Structure 1
């Protein structure tokens, strides 16, 4: 239950509380004030309503709850570990790169015990004694730094009171299960935990991966399964085997109990119509492995389920829609392909750009798209809207990113679509999207949320503090920007390197700060650490007012050892401070963003900092990973690739909250409720208000 409570607090910033009982004189109010003071030290605070609810509880209960709340928010902000720095006085007294190496070499030569290895013909400087490992304790670091001077600009995140743990968990479960967009891997794990506690299924589960996770709990409890395609059953079997419900990675299917085999075959038999057997060849090998575990020949009363495995073995033919469409397109029968795709509205709209360039006529294709719009999901409509608004002219580059955030770029060689064609297509999409939006009632919008990108997919973005979808833009306050990485190796020696690539306004003339270049005129590196059995942290300071480059791209490289998704812990974030504000290298109340690193690439590009024409700085979220090399990745080796990727994302016109807000305002309303959209929910909203913040923004995506 503690995991469930921490999940609710971290995802909703709400503290689950049971209904208050009869008030009794106690020291609950004192304990609540003490908890609030402890929370302020890490950048959180209790709302007045939460303080009032806590004050009515017995003091001992407040203390017990406070310990759990404080532990959760410290982990959320990254303060659950000790952030030491290689150079104890960082950002002061950091030696120049050559000065540092010369001093380290001199120190080694003067050490008699170290003399033999340095007399070799060649010398690996990274193996010098003392390099890459802490030479002082965390207590020494604290003693070398003054206390942080709190300023009004420091981050303060408000915690609100919630209902009972059961009520809050159920609300979070319905939100995740009913999401219109694919969830991140961490959110799928959260949904799996919640589904084991919440028996009721939402009315609609539009994302197949979410449905598979919910079905895992239903299968374990013996409840009817929610499936309408044969692939739903395969996803469920993979999930129950501890594998990938997205089917992107092959799963080793486990053995099933007889009751489980019967339930899976019964569900498969109910949906395995001839029209749906065409989905089987796409995952032929996985179906073969599943057939070996389910023994369909033992269940003759499920004949249609047996047909699925016959198709997988090649004993029965079943042509899928995709193969028929590809055949028609390859043979130049585009009109036939359009006719076939009209049976799958979402598939037609996903191919609309290609069809408009190769179809029989733009008019025929647009008419088909107009008919298909009513049958496609809201996420498909919004994704197509964003795509088309970027097709008036060739882009700097086309970015391709998989479900794990691994990205690559290619030149955009597609011819632009005609303005008249685009105008008609966009008008069709706008009309259909507006029709599906709910009645907003009285609409209240925080202006700071307008430039947040709509979360059309959450797979690449790990949940965390202050996280926004890819393409979102927000302002950067403060004169000092400090980003950081922390990691802890699981088994073998692991070396991550924090670096910063600085570019001019044309994304050229690169310079960098990293372990090979400790500083330039406006940025300073905290020092290189090459192993992390107990955890290691690296920092880079950027003095924004002195920056001679308007584009700063933080990077995290796997130099050696475990990749991000194998390390015991790995996370990135950034802080902002006043230029004169002192304190430790890591101060939780100045952290603006923190999230885990877990992509499959070996170079992480979490975000980019940009200076605008007005001199102010902004941050744009990337959530990208480069494949990199098996080892020895450095910022010098990916400057061209990173520059093209960053430029492609920065110059792309992402679909933002502003778009839906404009449609909602044009829609008008006579309803009596209030809809609030913002970065944080303010106090004083009327009861029954619909509240959308970054953590629940996916709920604003129409069905």
Structure 2
């Protein structure tokens, strides 16, 4: 197999479960395919017959290269491409239950045990060993060398050649999960890449990190060939920058900028382009850096007081990496022709628009001006020179620069006057701002029918210009604003999700205005979706009602399964839940300590217990162990890293009054998640706790860790309902699980509020989004219930989309075919699990892969 386009091949395998190989002239025997089958089976995958037949035609080197690519890609997606050895190698057996006694033994050994002396615990002579490099003296009669993988005293990795460490215990093979997921033969890689480029360009919200990486990989490998695949319109400005900024790094600048000119409409587009070209993020949200501050200065700051508890890592450090956000990035080299080309792009814009747009990101433009040198060309580019004078607040001769009132300043004045009509008049000029501030404008209008009418008229005028994700957000949000809520949750921009909760102070919106706006939104959505290709049958899983339509995807965690934040998925009660965490420090030797903990609460969110680094087992009131930790490793040296696990016994937890189990990933030592060589976590659903500690076949969710210091709250298990709530939420600071009062209050504030927020219907579900598509495009809708039974509802002759949508939402029994059969024609399927064989060439969205490969993503349904 050619090594060309290896990133494209890998991403298409990940996204579409397809392998693209040209037919060869050979015919490999069955035994040559056995290694392929064995590797895939270890990951929970199998080959389709047509892919197997194609692979057998390859010569042996090409077959082996293909096998390596497939295994490496799928293993990395699940987390099975690294070593997973916990502190206690015999986990879940042989984990000490008395963590306090173990801690005391460790402390006494650390301070009092010396080499060549009898063990201070058991008194035996000749049983101690000095471990390297930590130099702790460990007794093999008191600490089991066949169980530990690191130093029993400091829990840091040590030289395993020491006689203290005994060989790894043999682990039995775990039970094989069923069924295996299939990977298939791809038809044409270029066609698949072209379709994906078109889909990504058509996105109407900022892409997730996974999509962003794949988009950049396609641009890097295909280069200028990609330009022929780019549609006339790219709705999201960041995506324009991602495409052309990446091409600019790999291709001839003149050709790239000539093609980019048709898509660049504002000054912000230009600086986003330069940001991507320089290797920065196009969102222009600032770059996080760390300034090394003497530790004594940090001790005096109230917000860091929880870092310096007894035994804390920070008590030993001289400096603290204080995070700071700066509005600049390391600039790539700008050649003189490239500088002139960028100035030419800027000079095309109207001077007022140019100046105002640059003021929106003033700090970035001041920085970029140091490299563009606009006043060297002030005669050739006078509008640009003027705009930079305003941005810098001084002219090229040092005199004060001209004054300029922006759109947002005018809007703020109207808000301060509580003049909703003036707000509507201004916002009408900028439909995107109107959509985002519609709720606010109606609140300002209050009971003034004239002002409300002006706001609604502006909304009706601009509704066709609103982005589809915004319309979907408003469709779900507005009905919840008819009644005041207890709390309001914000989702500010950022590289990770940090939801902020405040007390709700807004008054309820008028019912008539909400009803009129919802009707306008729904009519517009149906019109848009009806413009997409029609389908005969539309198959929908009812379980998608608990899956949230993706929002704020820029902050979504990179994961093998793109589960949108706020979604709820069922956890089979018969399965064993094993959480895992893996991280690896960078090669430069910098160290860090991550920790995996689970806190337990009853149905009133009263604290029950915790399983963590300082309490290795959580015991219920009847004495049974409801959770077990595999131990706390305190470093993760390159290249193997470190892994931690926690097993949860749901049945025992329920019997002991536990309702909620909250997973918490804590970054204790201050090194940012994103600066690690790798850092990921997830959960396995296993039939038993035996076998290898990490079994890729059982991975139900695997996600990367991102962002800076702090705490990551990925998920909450509702053991009463056997559900998993995916929160994907970061919070700054640390939860002190050593202090029940602080940790309990923090979790009790965050988790129930987030669960209630998403459960309120404030975000649209994938089920309701699928119904909108089906009402606009399908002749028949087949609903698959959780028991796998099918129900169907057909469109009446001449029935309009709105009426069909109304019947689909009711799905009245007297209107339904209860024994429908799926035909052989291609259909559209929106599935939770792709566990059903579908006709070839069907369009499939599926949250979890299976026997059918998904060929579209959730975000494609909101384009």
What TM-score comes out, normalization by structure 2 length? Answer: 0.74
Residues 581-590 or 266-275, more deviating:
266-275
Query: What is the match of residue 480 of structure 2?
Result: 390
CA drift of 1:598 comes to 0.8
CA distance in structure 2 between the partners assigned to 1:161 and 1:680 by the alignment: 20
Aligned residues: 689
Query: What is the match of residue 259 of structure 1?
Result: 337
CA drift of 1:571 comes to 0.3
Out of 844, 847, 862, the position equivalent to 1:691 is: 844
Out of 495, 516, 524, the position equivalent to 2:614 is: 516
Query: What is the match of residue 15 of structure 1?
Result: 19
Is the CA contact (8 Å cut-off) linking 1:518 and 1:525 kept in structure 2?
yes
User: Which aligned pairs between 1:649-688 and structure 2 lie closer than 5 A?
Assistant: 649-652=754-757, 653=761, 654-667=763-776, 669=778, 674-679=827-832, 681=834, 685-688=838-841
The answer to whether residue 755 in structure 2 is matched with residue 641 in structure 1 is: no
SS at match of 1:693: strand
Q: Following TM superposition, where does structure 1 have runs of at least 4 consecutive aligned residues deviating by more than 6 angstroms?
A: 135-141, 631-635
Out of 600, 606, 609, the position equivalent to 2:708 is: 600
The answer to whether residue 359 in structure 2 is matched with residue 281 in structure 1 is: yes
Is the CA contact (8 Å cut-off) linking 2:351 and 2:387 kept in structure 1?
no
Query: What is the match of residue 381 of structure 1?
Result: 471
Query: What is the match of residue 630 of structure 2?
Result: 526
CA distance in structure 2 between the partners assigned to 1:313 and 1:383 by the alignment: 38
CA drift of 1:533 comes to 0.7
Which residues of structure 1 form unaligned runs of 5+?
Answer: 119-123
SS at match of 2:555: coil
Is the CA contact (8 Å cut-off) linking 2:601 and 2:609 kept in structure 1?
yes
CA distance in structure 1 between the partners assigned to 2:535 and 2:546 by the alignment: 20
CA drift of 1:103 comes to 4.1
Is the CA contact (8 Å cut-off) linking 1:30 and 1:59 kept in structure 2?
no
CA distance in structure 1 between the partners assigned to 2:350 and 2:691 by the alignment: 64
CA distance in structure 1 between the partners assigned to 2:691 and 2:99 by the alignment: 25
CA distance in structure 2 between the partners assigned to 1:469 and 1:115 by the alignment: 58
The answer to whether residue 401 in structure 2 is matched with residue 372 in structure 1 is: no
CA distance in structure 2 between the partners assigned to 1:145 and 1:61 by the alignment: 34
Out of 339, 343, 364, the position equivalent to 2:429 is: 343
Query: What is the match of residue 525 of structure 2?
Result: 433
Is the CA contact (8 Å cut-off) linking 1:551 and 1:611 kept in structure 2?
yes
Out of 203, 206, 211, the position equivalent to 2:235 is: 206
Is the CA contact (8 Å cut-off) linking 1:434 and 1:667 kept in structure 2?
yes
* Per-residue CA distance 1:219-270 (angstroms, 9 max, x = gap): 4432222301111001112222222311111223344112211221122122
CA distance in structure 1 between the partners assigned to 2:563 and 2:271 by the alignment: 32
Residues 457-466 or 503-512, more deviating:
503-512
SS at match of 1:691: strand
CA distance in structure 2 between the partners assigned to 1:397 and 1:30 by the alignment: 63
SS at match of 2:422: helix
CA distance in structure 1 between the partners assigned to 2:836 and 2:861 by the alignment: 24
User: Which aligned pairs between 1:127-146 and structure 2 lie closer than 5 A?
Assistant: 130-133=153-156, 143-146=169-172
SS at match of 1:25: coil
Residues 644-653 or 48-57, more deviating:
48-57
Query: What is the match of residue 318 of structure 2?
Result: none
Greater relative contact order (Cα < 8 A, sep 6+): 1
SS at match of 1:603: strand
Query: What is the match of residue 121 of structure 1?
Result: none
Over aligned residue pairs, what C-alpha RMSD do you find? 3.2
What TM-score comes out, normalization by structure 1 length? Answer: 0.90
User: Which aligned pairs between 1:90-169 and structure 2 lie closer than 5 A?
Assistant: 90-95=91-96, 96-105=98-107, 111-113=113-115, 130-133=153-156, 143-152=169-178, 156-169=180-193
* Per-residue CA distance 1:28-86 (angstroms, 9 max, x = gap): x5434431221111222223332233233334322220011101111111111111111
* Per-residue CA distance 1:183-213 (angstroms, 9 max, x = gap): 2344323322211223332332222111111
CA distance in structure 2 between the partners assigned to 1:442 and 1:449 by the alignment: 18
CA drift of 1:107 comes to 5.3
Out of 171, 182, 200, the position equivalent to 2:195 is: 171
CA distance in structure 1 between the partners assigned to 2:151 and 2:538 by the alignment: 63
Is the CA contact (8 Å cut-off) linking 1:606 and 1:622 kept in structure 2?
yes
Is the CA contact (8 Å cut-off) linking 2:607 and 2:744 kept in structure 1?
no
Is the CA contact (8 Å cut-off) linking 1:229 and 1:272 kept in structure 2?
no
CA shift in 2, pair 1:128/1:593, >3 Å:
closer
* Per-residue CA distance 1:308-360 (angstroms, 9 max, x = gap): 32331333444332221111111222210111101112211211221121114
Residues 69-78 or 267-276, more deviating:
267-276
Which residues of structure 2 form unaligned runs of 5+?
Answer: 121-135, 137-149, 287-326, 394-400, 621-625, 781-824, 848-853
The answer to whether residue 555 in structure 2 is matched with residue 446 in structure 1 is: no
CA distance in structure 1 between the partners assigned to 2:243 and 2:738 by the alignment: 42
Query: What is the match of residue 817 of structure 2?
Result: none
* Per-residue CA distance 1:406-451 (angstroms, 9 max, x = gap): 3332222333334444333322222221221133442122344442
Instruction: Pick the structure with greater CA Rg.
Output: 2
CA drift of 1:482 comes to 0.8
Is the CA contact (8 Å cut-off) linking 1:406 and 1:599 kept in structure 2?
no
